């Protein structure tokens, strides 16, 4: 949720074209709630119980067109939005942050009901990140500046960073968006397409801390996280101890209703994802990985999956190559720095990576060699609003968050003016 909010800074009219808003069951267009043009509704179920929560209006092409038309109107010359001072736009973002902060309890509860996310994670991580992101970009609103350029000849040249216009966002199916953009008119897209992220643990690290960080780096949000450190490479001399401690932590996880205090793993998001995860777990068993714990459903009547840890995983196994997006940790053995760098990079993905070592030279060498958009040293999932988020290779293109994200939503315009320098 927080990653998307940068677009409100330069194209706040997108606020008018949000097709789904978790605070209501209708479609929000042009500052009003509407029923869908088709009249179709989409059922929303609680993944922890299977109960129907509500039905929301299902937007179609006609609804999207109306939303885009409304948003484009905000960019017309003389429109209230276009005439608004940049500092006032920043105030609006901060006002939205105030409202999110005010309704933080309600929003976290809705998130837990809708997705199965642990309530405390939604409250202290997701909603906190949303508020921080809004305030961060609210501060940028009147600080987006161009440059003056000393060009040859009697000219004065400067640059303006202007908003690209109406933006839309679809959270999943990034590859389909990329293809559609290429097939039509080469629209600019920012894509985050997932990862199979390596987490490298050297023998000279703080072992207990590395175990804890590797555990949380994988099992956060039931493993349904693009940043999940799902390929844990552990140096040979500490491998057995690391596996033993990791399995113990996984066995001690408490599963249940994400709204109940003390529960630290909720259900998977839906039946399709649940089935995919179990199928990949079965592939790990068949291909010879050692199942240390878990390995199946927690309850036959729900979408919970036991926290699962595999050891003796090899690079050619499906669980080592495919993004599982579930509570399944794969622990692999390595013996040298060069070996683990080569193996860590042997993937189509390149979103994130982790390195655990007390040797600063080793940390710098490995982090510079890893083909990933984000590398964490002696930590994992250390996200911040100020830091760019994005990946290399098939993990997508473009960046969200930080100053770098502003480049994704602006066009640079060069203005050159003929200047006479003759004496009058």
CA nearest to 259, candidates 377, 133, 108? 108
Q: So where are the chain's domains?
A: 2-145, 198-384
Q: Which CATH class is domain 198-384?
A: alpha beta
Distance of alpha carbon 333 from the chain centroid: 28
202: exposed, middle or buried (C-beta count within 10 Å: 0-12, 13-18, 19+)? buried
Q: 35 and 26 in contact (C-beta within 8 Å)?
A: yes
Q: Which CATH superfamily is domain 2-145 in?
A: Aldehyde Dehydrogenase; Chain A, domain 1 (3.40.605.10)
pLDDT at 69: 92
Task: Output the pLDDT for position 4.
Answer: 36
Fold identical between 2-145 and 198-384? no
Give the residue among 421, 365, 417 at the shortest CA–CA distance from 160: 417
What's the pLDDT score for residue 172?
A: 58
pLDDT on residue 20: 38
Catalytic positions: 192
**Tokens of residue 155, six digits:** 């000219």
Q: Which of 258, 299, 249, 260 is nearest to 278 (CA)?
A: 299
Q: Can you give the pLDDT at residue 31?
A: 87
CB-hemisphere CA count at 13 Å for 48? 21
How far apart are alpha carbons 218 and 111 in whole angstroms? 20
Q: How far apart are CA 60 and CA 198, in angstroms?
A: 39
Based on the number of CB atoms within 10 Å of its own CB, is 185 exposed (0-12), middle (13-18) or buried (19 or more)?
exposed
Q: What angle do CA 73, 77, 80 make, to 5 degrees?
A: 65
Sign of CA dihedral 368, 372, 378, 382: positive
Do 270 and 47 contact (CB within 8 A), yes or no?
A: yes
SS3 258: coil
Q: From 375, 401, 376, select the one nearest 386 (Cα to Cα).
A: 401
Consecutive sets of 10 residues in the chain, 424 residues long: mean pLDDT of each?
Answer: 35 35 70 91 91 90 91 89 93 96 95 94 94 96 95 95 84 60 68 90 97 96 94 98 97 95 93 95 96 92 94 96 95 97 96 97 96 96 93 89 92 94 67
Residue 249: Cβ within 10 Å count: 18
| CA gap 200, 218 in Å, rounded | 13
Beta-strand pair 198-201/231-235: parallel
What is the pLDDT at residue 12? 35
pLDDT at 420: 82
What pTM value is reported for the model? 0.86
Q: Which residues contact 368 (CB under 8 A, 6 or more apart)?
A: none
Q: Is 306:297 a contact under the CB 8 Å cutoff?
A: yes
- Evaluate whether 415 touches 157 at the Cβ level (below 8 Å): yes
pLDDT at site 167: 83
Q: What is the DSSP letter of 411?
A: E
Q: Which residues of 341-357 are buried (b: 16+ CB within 10 A; e: fewer)?
A: bebbbebebbbbbbbbb
């Amino acid at each position: 949720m927080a990653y998307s909010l940068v677009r409100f800074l330069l194209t706040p009219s997108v606020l008018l074209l949000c097709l789904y808003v978790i605070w209501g069951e209708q479609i929000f267009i042009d500052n009003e709630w509407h029923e869908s043009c088709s009249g179709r509704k989409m059922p929303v179920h609680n993944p922890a119980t299977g109960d129907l929560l509500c039905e929301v209006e299902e937007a179609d092409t006609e609804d999207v067109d109306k939303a885009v038309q409304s948003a484009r109107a905000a960019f017309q010359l003389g429109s209230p939005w276009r005439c608004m001072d940049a500092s006032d736009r920043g105030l609006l973002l901060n006002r939205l942050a105030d409202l999110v902060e005010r309704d933080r309890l309600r929003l976290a509860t809705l998130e837990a009901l809708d997705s199965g996310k642990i309530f405390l994670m939604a409250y202290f991580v997701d909603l906190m990140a949303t508020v921080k992101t809004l305030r961060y970009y609210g501060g940028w609103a009147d600080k987006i500046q161009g440059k003056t350029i000393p060009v040859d000849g009697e000219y004065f040249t400067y640059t303006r960073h202007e908003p690209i216009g109406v933006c839309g966002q679809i959270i999943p199916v990034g590859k389909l968006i990329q293809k559609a953009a290429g097939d039509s008119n080469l629209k600019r897209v920012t894509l985050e397409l997932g990862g199979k992220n390596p987490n490298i643990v050297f023998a000279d690290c703080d072992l207990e801390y590395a175990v804890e960080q590797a555990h949380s780096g994988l099992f956060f949000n039931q493993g349904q996280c693009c940043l999940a450190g799902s390929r844990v490479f552990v140096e040979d001399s500490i491998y057995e101890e690391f596996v033993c401690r990791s399995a113990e932590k996984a066995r001690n996880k408490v599963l249940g209703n994400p709204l109940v205090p003390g529960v630290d793993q909720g259900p998977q998001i839906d039946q399709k994802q649940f089935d995919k995860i179990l199928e990949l777990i079965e592939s790990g068993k068949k291909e010879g990985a050692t199942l240390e714990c878990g390995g199946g459903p927690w309850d036959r009547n729900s979408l919970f999956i036991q926290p699962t840890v595999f050891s003796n995983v090899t690079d050619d196994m499906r669980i080592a190559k495919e993004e599982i997006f579930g509570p399944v940790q794969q622990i692999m053995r390595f013996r040298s720095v060069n070996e683990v760098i080569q193996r860590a990079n042997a993937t189509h993905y390149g979103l994130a990576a982790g390195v655990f070592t007390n040797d600063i030279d080793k940390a710098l060498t490995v982090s510079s060699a890893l083909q990933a958009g984000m590398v964490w040293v002696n930590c994992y999932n250390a996200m911040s609003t100020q830091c760019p988020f994005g990946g290399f290779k098939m993990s997508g293109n473009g960046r969200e968050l930080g100053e770098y994200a502003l480049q994704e939503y602006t066009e640079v315009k060069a203005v050159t003016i003929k200047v006479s320098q003759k004496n009058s």
